[in-house]
Structure 1
């Protein structure tokens, strides 16, 4: 265990020093108010002393060297070594300090919360102030990953004490929103960039790939006046072909059914003068390395194609991760999260974004074409997770 003492003029500043040097998993072992010596005993200044620790397994050789070093120290220095590495021993002071009872209570609460942040994921953190406790329970209900939740809550604890131990739930919610947005804003969001001709929509069956294609294509045609065409390689399901043909007829766009790479090559030539070509794939295609290798000979995935992975929010997080891994043979540019209206659990979006470093293109919340689709932004995602909806 690595133990270190921090001294700062305010408790929030001390906590920032702890997190900066030891990380968010650090545990507060002791905290108190200390007085610095002033000039001729005057002008003393109140500071906060925090002793924090983090688990770290030292190599046996380092432990042996430290042991030998301590063994050679004179008696008067041994006390200081023991104090630094054994926080359970009391720190002796020559002068008795008068500490305000309210401050002692605040320090005790802060220590308790920091210890709980490093405790088991199932803990309900009953000792949290009301708004922080409610936010923690919201994160748990949303199935947000424990490490993400722990990091965000650490920020909220600091803000709470920086705000003089006060704040409504709405204020804490605003802090949480800022924390979530700051973590996911570095990735790409929003709909089609129109920098790539081919839009490849991949994902397992039943997540809404074909309906999503129709919604995005309708926006291209009606809003942006683009010339659109469809290609489907999902020849394993007759219903999927007929559904895409129905949408193509409604939107007055051509559709080609490709049973082989040669068919795909011919379709590519046929649609040479089109602005955007949507490709509806069968889930099993991209699990076949030969299919991917052959397709890459026809289309430059980097320069000509952007790929959206469609995931249903009604799926389990473990299933979403498995799906991502299966389709990772091609570069996934963005997610499309579907069935927002069919669940009340949205934490998987945050987990998937942060684990795989992939942003979101669209969110769909119904079956209506061309409606029930929203271009995603970090703010919209944070709002949904925290209780605001896009319906």
Structure 2
């Protein structure tokens, strides 16, 4: 086995050096954090010392067929080696992840690790870490958990303050709600409509373009009956125009679109041909926080050609990590209108407020 010692500022840097010499099949034999003396006892410099090794491939001799058939020890040995190498790769990946914050003081790591658990983007986490560390260097002292949280909250407030937050404006007549199947679109529409009727005393109506699922139409009818509001079904653009004409005397018209697999662009194009987006309309994209962030990002990408005003995030109560909400808002420059945390209509609906959402994100960090 070839062995080599590496010294680097961070574990990530050390791993990159290991990979450059030995590739992904390297074996980490040991790793240590070496601390050098700092100025007046503060800001001690930490380095990572890693010893890595690599087994050179053994040239296997081809045995005669009758020997291969009777001697089964070699294939078994190969399987064990392969299993060990897979385990080593897994451990290497875990070490890489745990060393993500190697450049930051130990006092900062609990908060940064907590935010990582909330699935906040690495970009935002490192912004927070650098901001707190800058304050520590300026004041030449460690910061308490409470002080760290306040700096993190201030930074995030500044980062997202330019985005729009809050529910429907009541200045536009048509409320168009878009989103993939399974995100709770119809229930969310009912919650918003009930608030508009009961709290704002608006005359409301519904148009559904979800003609693919009978259950969806019946669900909307049930909510509409409870709210004593009319419902129209639009199978095509002409039906949509007729529905608009029938409801011209209402204050607000809520449009429930079909829940489809919007990873396929053709379904988004269908919406463009069915709905007149030039109307006096607000459009919202509904996303379930329980979905993978990559899948949510794919959906958003498909809808970038439509005038999306704000996001509506659903099923917040069904996940322990809400960082992806902030990641999507940051990446696409789109704020939030509402988030839902249950099935009750209209109770389990909260109008998006940045300060409250940050409080949710950081809840529990004081105990990290």
- Relative to the length of structure 1, the TM-score reads 0.67
State whether residues 131 and 172 of structure 1, in contact with CA within 8 Å, keep that contact through their aligned partners in structure 2: no
State whether residues 176 and 254 of structure 2, in contact with CA within 8 Å, keep that contact through their aligned partners in structure 1: yes
Query: Which residue matches 1:186?
Result: 162
1:329 & 1:128 partners in 2: Cα distance? Answer: 41
- Please report how far the alpha carbon of residue 143 of structure 1 lies from its aligned counterpart in structure 2 after TM superposition: 1.4
* Residue in structure 2 matching 1:294, options 273, 298, 312: 273
CA 1:263–1:183 in structure 2 vs 1: closer, same or farther (change >3 Å)? same
1:171 & 1:201 partners in 2: Cα distance? Answer: 40
- Relative to the length of structure 2, the TM-score reads 0.71
2:103 & 2:271 partners in 1: Cα distance? Answer: 54
Query: Which residue matches 2:195?
Result: 219
- 1:178-211 per-residue CA deviation (whole Å, 9 max, x = no partner) reads 1111111101000011121111111111111001
CA 1:112–1:358 in structure 2 vs 1: closer, same or farther (change >3 Å)? farther
- Please report how far the alpha carbon of residue 328 of structure 1 lies from its aligned counterpart in structure 2 after TM superposition: 2.3
Query: Which residue matches 1:136?
Result: 112
Moved more, 280-289 or 307-316: 280-289
CA 1:106–1:282 in structure 2 vs 1: closer, same or farther (change >3 Å)? same
State whether residues 203 and 327 of structure 1, in contact with CA within 8 Å, keep that contact through their aligned partners in structure 2: no
CA 1:336–1:235 in structure 2 vs 1: closer, same or farther (change >3 Å)? same
CA 1:192–1:237 in structure 2 vs 1: closer, same or farther (change >3 Å)? same
Query: Which residue matches 2:348?
Result: 372
State whether residues 329 and 335 of structure 2, in contact with CA within 8 Å, keep that contact through their aligned partners in structure 1: yes
- 1:42-80 per-residue CA deviation (whole Å, 9 max, x = no partner) reads xxxxxxxxxxxxxxxxxxxxxxxxxxxxxxxxxxxxxxx
State whether residues 310 and 336 of structure 2, in contact with CA within 8 Å, keep that contact through their aligned partners in structure 1: yes
State whether residues 178 and 286 of structure 2, in contact with CA within 8 Å, keep that contact through their aligned partners in structure 1: yes
Query: Which residue matches 1:310?
Result: 286
State whether residues 177 and 256 of structure 2, in contact with CA within 8 Å, keep that contact through their aligned partners in structure 1: yes
Say yes or no: does 1:156 pair with 2:92.
Answer: no
State whether residues 38 and 44 of structure 2, in contact with CA within 8 Å, keep that contact through their aligned partners in structure 1: no
* Residue in structure 2 matching 1:202, options 170, 173, 178: 178
1:232 & 1:307 partners in 2: Cα distance? Answer: 14
- Please report how far the alpha carbon of residue 153 of structure 1 lies from its aligned counterpart in structure 2 after TM superposition: 1.1
- Please report how far the alpha carbon of residue 112 of structure 1 lies from its aligned counterpart in structure 2 after TM superposition: 6.8
- Please report how far the alpha carbon of residue 329 of structure 1 lies from its aligned counterpart in structure 2 after TM superposition: 2.8
2:268 & 2:322 partners in 1: Cα distance? Answer: 32
1:363 & 1:288 partners in 2: Cα distance? Answer: 25
Query: Which residue matches 1:229?
Result: 205
Say yes or no: does 1:105 pair with 2:41.
Answer: yes
> How many residue pairs were aligned?
283
- 1:298-332 per-residue CA deviation (whole Å, 9 max, x = no partner) reads 4415xx11111111111110010011112223111
Say yes or no: does 1:170 pair with 2:151.
Answer: no
CA 1:250–1:133 in structure 2 vs 1: closer, same or farther (change >3 Å)? same
- Please report how far the alpha carbon of residue 342 of structure 1 lies from its aligned counterpart in structure 2 after TM superposition: 0.6
RMSD: 2.7
CA 1:329–1:124 in structure 2 vs 1: closer, same or farther (change >3 Å)? closer
- 1:354-378 per-residue CA deviation (whole Å, 9 max, x = no partner) reads 0000000001000000101111111
Q: Which runs of 5+ in 1 are unaligned?
A: 1-26, 29-100, 114-118
2:319 & 2:268 partners in 1: Cα distance? Answer: 34
2:295 & 2:192 partners in 1: Cα distance? Answer: 25
- Please report how far the alpha carbon of residue 345 of structure 1 lies from its aligned counterpart in structure 2 after TM superposition: 0.5
* Residue in structure 2 matching 1:359, options 335, 338, 349: 335
Moved over 4 A (4+): 119-122, 126-131
1:50-89 aligned at under 5 Å gives the runs none
SS in 2 for 1:201: strand
Which has the higher relative contact order, 1 or 2, with Cα contacts under 8 A spaced 6 or more apart? 2
State whether residues 268 and 303 of structure 2, in contact with CA within 8 Å, keep that contact through their aligned partners in structure 1: no
CA 1:289–1:363 in structure 2 vs 1: closer, same or farther (change >3 Å)? closer
State whether residues 200 and 278 of structure 1, in contact with CA within 8 Å, keep that contact through their aligned partners in structure 2: yes
